Amino acid sequence: MATDDRLGRIIADRYQLDRVIGRGGMGVVYGGQHTWTERPVAVKLLHSAFADDPTLLKRFFREAKLTAKLRHPNVVEILDMGEDEDGSSFIVLELLEGRSLKAILDGVSRLDVGRAFEILYPVMDALAAAHDLGIVHRDVKPDNVFLAQGFRGSEVPKLLDFGVAKALEGTTMMTAAGTTLGTPLYMAP
């Protein structure tokens, strides 16, 4: 794997990037910390190839705004967003330690019904809160459900990645006709 030249860099004069957590189609997520408070954070940086695409920039920041509106204990918290001095667009999120539901499912032949309920009931509550605000997630799948380490070793299910979410009222359509957003295997028919 190539060395990432952003490691060690400070974004927006306050977020130091320490490690790569994940890579996706639209960007890279880094683990790091706030330089003043030393709070651990995750920083999602949009790929520079998308910096000049106003539709993608709008979608990127829309994800942060929609997620920030939720303020639900089972939705990843958005802490900040903006552009760095070099023009890099970023979203800062709470840093979650734990594992995805996909990682759990990959390790078992089947999930006990009680365990499934413990994980999915809070996620359904988060989805209900989103729907109450007119937000439809559109990409609920095991990769986007994370079991974060909570207080005293508890697990806190968190719903992630509102990148293809849709606000039902007050916004214009950002999906072109014939375009599929989300993961087809997990989409409603």
Rounded Cα gap, residues 93 and 45, in angstroms:
11
Report the 10 Å Cβ neighbour count for 11.
24
Q: Which CATH architecture has domain 10-94?
A: 2-Layer Sandwich (3.30)
Is 86 marked active-site? Answer: no
DSSP code at position 152: G
Q: Please report, for the chain, the start and end positions of each structural domain, with discontinuous segments joined by +.
A: 10-94, 98-186
DSSP SS3 for 78 = strand
Residue 41's pLDDT is 98
Q: Give the residue ranges of the chain where pLDDT is below 50.
A: 1, 170-181, 187, 189
pLDDT tens for 27-67 read 899 999 999 999 999 999 988 888 888 888 888 888 788 88
Distance from chain centroid for Cα 103: 16
| pLDDT of the residue at 189 | 41
Evaluate whether 135 touches 70 at the Cβ level (below 8 Å): yes
Select which of 112, 139, 143, 161 is catalytic: 139
CATH number of 98-186: 1.10.510.10
